[in-house]
A and B are shown apart, each in its own frame.
Chain A
């Protein structure tokens, strides 16, 4: 006889509400209230638009955005090599 399909127990509405509350508390503590809203209430498109606005605001204020972590340390080497070559010439 074929085994019955596995059906994981879904959380009850009360459990879901509790998990959502925990998640919101955590985001507010770790990222602040505004970003908690961005993370938990916004759609992906809204979240991306918000990030776009954040970066534009930084640029308009004349500040430079830091390079991504993956290349930041490589850029440091590039700058050192550039400076060394400039000294030599």
Chain B
């Protein structure tokens, strides 16, 4: 499949799921391509409400691509089950193997989403606010995308765009075009420096980005540690077996029940996680302690981990 066919495949899949009553939306890289910010990924990240997981699995089991049935991706994917997705796990599917494989990554929760993604849809896609929040990763390439999405939100009249600008020049340009409401400044202390024309704006934007990067790196470290025993268990259970998607799902559920912590981030403690990231971003990066006050309160971005 070339990119055009692949894009249409994912749109058709979401359309079919929606017709079956499954609440879902495309996010991340493919959403960026849709929003006129080209990203080279060809994998589809799909937000899917956990109530629709059973139907999603039914639909995936019926779809073949170039003769390949759908399967979980390797031994690495947690099961498509609401219990684990509530803990921020994701499930990964593939049709075929190698560079030509068609893949689907399913998110039951919008990682770092501060508002319910179900209320933030734009056609078959998550809107720019959700995509931008989900892109606050420890990967350099994501940050220009976030800023660009923020600008689009402001152009569309959504003041939440102010929460997503991470480039100093862009913040200053946007201030010349749109007012920065007090509630956005309250949510994001770095904006104080923008509205008061304070030179510390650059440092405040940088430390905030470092904070999000450290948060994501910590999240990944905790999940990786929790995943190892599960990965080993799935590897053993699937050895020399070629199960169908449904059989593979049952095997993974069984392995997960025995070896995969449901919510490693909550087990570690969200407060502790935030504190670690604050310390690493500020003290660990050589910023003065006052920079701790430049960081946003991002508890809402972890509500997705709560029941």
A55 and B6 alpha carbons, distance in the complex (Å): 14
A3 interfacial contact with B, CB 8 Å: no
Contacts of A47-85 to chain B: CB distance below 8 A: 47-52, 54-55, 59, 65, 68-71, 73-78, 80-81, 85
Contact indicator per residue, chain A 33-45, by CB within 8 Å of chain B (1) or not (0): 0010011100011
CB atoms of B167 and A68 under 8 A apart: no
Q: Give the size of the chain A interface in residues (CB under 8 angstroms).
A: 40
A48 and B42 alpha carbons, distance in the complex (Å): 10
Question: Can you report 11 residue pairs joining A to B where beta carbons are below 8 Å apart?
Answer: A49-B2, A51-B40, A54-B40, A65-B99, A68-B29, A68-B45, A71-B43, A76-B224, A77-B231, A78-B75, A78-B76
Given contacts A52-B3, A65-B40, A68-B41, contact A80 B228 (CB under 8 A): yes
A23 and B59 alpha carbons, distance in the complex (Å): 40
Q: Helix, strand, loop or mixed for chain A's interface?
A: helix
A residues lining the B interface (CB < 8 Å): 8, 18-19, 22-23, 25-27, 29-31, 35, 38-40, 44-45, 47-52, 54-55, 59, 65, 68-71, 73-78, 80-81, 85
Task: Identify the closest chain A residue to B77 (Cβ).
Answer: A74
CB neighbours of A48 from chain B (8 A) = 2-4, 7, 33
CB atoms of B169 and A29 under 8 A apart: yes
Q: How many A-B residue pairs have CB under 8 A?
A: 115
CB atoms of B73 and A39 under 8 A apart: no
Task: Identify the closest chain A residue to B8 (Cβ).
Answer: A48
Given contacts A26-B148, A70-B90, A74-B76, contact A19 B155 (CB under 8 A): yes
CB neighbours of B137 from chain A (8 A) = 69
CB neighbours of A81 from chain B (8 A) = 75, 228, 231-232, 235
B132 interfacial contact with A, CB 8 Å: no
CB atoms of A59 and B99 under 8 A apart: yes
CB neighbours of A59 from chain B (8 A) = 99
Task: Identify the closest chain A residue to B138 (Cβ).
Answer: A69
Task: Identify the closest chain B residue to A56 (Cβ).
Answer: B2
CB distance from B244 to the nearest CB of A (A): 21
Please tell me which one of the listed residues A23, A68, A71 contacts residue B151 in the complex, with CB atoms under 8 A apart.
Answer: A23
Please tell me which one of the listed residues A35, A68, A69, A71 contacts residue B76 in the complex, with CB atoms under 8 A apart.
Answer: A71
Contact indicator per residue, chain B 26-43, by CB within 8 Å of chain A (1) or not (0): 001100011011111111
Contacts of B66-84 to chain A: CB distance below 8 A: 73-77
CB neighbours of B90 from chain A (8 A) = 70
